[in-house]
Amino acid sequence: MNRLNLVAGLLVIAAAAPVLAQTSPTVGVIRSTTPTVQGGANGVALLRDSTDPTKSVIVASGKLGGLELYSLRGDRIAAVPGGEIDAVDAREDGARSLIVALDRQAGRLRLFSRDQVSGQVAAIDARPLLLGYSGEGVCLHRSPRDGALYAFAMGRDGQLDQWLLFQAADGKMDGRPVRRLSLSSEAKFCVADDASGALYVAQAAVGIWRYDADPEAEPVPTIVDINRLGKVAGEVEGLAIINGGKAADFLVAANPDQGDYNVYDRSADDRFVGSFRIEANGTAAIAKPSGLFGLRAPLDRDFSAGALLIADDRNGGGDTKLISWADVAAALKLPLGQDVVEATPSALALVRPTMETEPVDHDGDAADDPAIWVHPTDPAKSAIIATDKKGGMLVYDLSGKRLQYMADGKMNNVDLRGGFKLGGKAVTLVAASDRTHKAIALYIINPETRLLTSVADGVQATNLSDPYGLCMYRDRKGETFVFVSDPDGLVRQWKLIATPAGKVRAQPVRDIRFDTQTEGCVADDETGALYVAEEDVALWKLGADAKAGSNRKLIARIGENPALKDDLEGVGLYIQPKGKGYLVVSSQGNNSYAVFRREGDNAYVGSFAVTANGDNGVDGISETDGLEVTSTPLGFGLEAGAFVAQDGRNIAPPEHQNFKLVPWSAIAAKLKL
Query: In this model, does residue 665 exceed pLDDT 50?
Result: yes
- Give the confidence band of 436 by pLDDT, cuts at 50, 70, 90: very high
Pick the CATH number of 3-44+134-332 from 3.40.50.150, 2.40.50.140, 2.120.10.30, 3.40.50.2300: 2.120.10.30
pLDDT digits (tens, 9 = 90+) for 128-175: 999 999 999 999 999 988 889 999 999 999 999 999 999 888 889 999
Residue predicted with more confidence, 14 or 582: 582
Query: In this model, does residue 592 exceed pLDDT 60?
Result: yes
Nearest alpha-carbon partner for 78 in 26, 41, 51, 114: 114
> If DSSP codes are grouped into helix, strand and coil, which group holds residue 588?
helix
Does residue 256 have a cis peptide bond before it, meaning omega lies within 30 degrees of 0?
A: no
Q: What's the Rg (C-alpha) of the chain?
A: 29
Query: In this model, does residue 231 exceed pLDDT 90?
Result: yes
Cα distance between residue 7 and residue 507, in whole Å = 53
* 8-state DSSP, 641: -
Residue predicted with more confidence, 646 or 14: 646
Q: Say which CATH superfamily domain 349-671 falls into.
A: TolB, C-terminal domain (2.120.10.30)
> If DSSP codes are grouped into helix, strand and coil, which group holds residue 634?
coil
Nearest alpha-carbon partner for 16 in 259, 261, 272: 272
CB distance 203 to 190 below 8 Å = no
Average pLDDT over the chain, rounded to an integer: 92
H-helix or E-strand containing 504? strand 504-513
Per 3-state DSSP, the chain is made up of helix, strand and coil in percentages (nearest 5) of 5, 50, 45
Displacement of CA 434 from its chain's centroid (Å):
31
Q: Is the dihedral of CA 32, 37, 42, 45 positive or negative?
A: negative
Query: Average pLDDT of 76-94?
Result: 90
> If DSSP codes are grouped into helix, strand and coil, which group holds residue 244?
coil
Strand partners, 643: 629, 662
H-helix or E-strand containing 14? helix 3-16
Cα distance between residue 219 and residue 336, in whole Å = 32
* Extents of the domains making up the chain: 3-44+134-332, 349-671
Q: How buried is 316 (Cβ within 10 angstroms: 0-12 exposed, 13-18 middle, 19+ buried)?
A: exposed
Cα distance between residue 268 and residue 106, in whole Å = 41
H-helix or E-strand containing 111? strand 108-115
State how far the alpha carbon of 606 is from the alpha carbons of 325, 554, 571, 673, in Å: 41, 18, 15, 10
Q: From the CB of residue 488, how many other CB atoms can be counted at a distance below 10 Å?
A: 14
**Percentage with pLDDT > 70 across the chain:** 96
Query: Average pLDDT of 266-270?
Result: 96
Task: Indicate the residue type of 498.
Answer: A
Same-fold call for 3-44+134-332 versus 349-671: yes
pLDDT digits (tens, 9 = 90+) for 29-73: 999 999 988 767 889 999 998 889 999 999 999 888 889 999 999
CB distance 109 to 153 below 8 Å = yes
Cα distance between residue 101 and residue 86, in whole Å = 7
pLDDT of residue 37: 84
pLDDT digits (tens, 9 = 90+) for 174-206: 999 989 888 999 999 999 999 999 999 999 889
pLDDT of residue 22: 55
pLDDT digits (tens, 9 = 90+) for 612-639: 888 888 999 999 999 999 999 999 999 9
Task: Indicate the residue type of 532.
Answer: V
Would you put residue 374 in left (φ > 0), alpha (ψ -120 to 50) or beta?
Answer: beta
Strands 319-324 and 307-312, by their bridges, are antiparallel
pLDDT of residue 653: 83
Q: How buried is 629 (Cβ within 10 angstroms: 0-12 exposed, 13-18 middle, 19+ buried)?
A: buried
> If DSSP codes are grouped into helix, strand and coil, which group holds residue 584?
strand
pLDDT of residue 598: 97
Residue predicted with more confidence, 90 or 228: 90
Minimum mean pLDDT range among 213-217, 252-256, 429-433, 518-522? 213-217
Query: Average pLDDT of 413-432?
Result: 96
Cα distance between residue 463 and residue 477, in whole Å = 28
> If DSSP codes are grouped into helix, strand and coil, which group holds residue 322?
strand
Q: Is the dihedral of CA 447, 449, 455, 459 positive or negative?
A: positive
Query: Average pLDDT of 451-456?
Result: 98
pLDDT of residue 316: 63
CB distance 383 to 450 below 8 Å = yes
Nearest alpha-carbon partner for 216 in 139, 130, 143: 143
Nearest alpha-carbon partner for 622 in 609, 639, 607, 634: 609
Cα distance between residue 554 and residue 531, in whole Å = 10
pLDDT digits (tens, 9 = 90+) for 326-342: 999 999 999 999 887 67
DSSP string of 450-491, one letter each residue: --EEE-BSS-EE---SS---EEEEE-TTS-EEEEEE-TTSEE
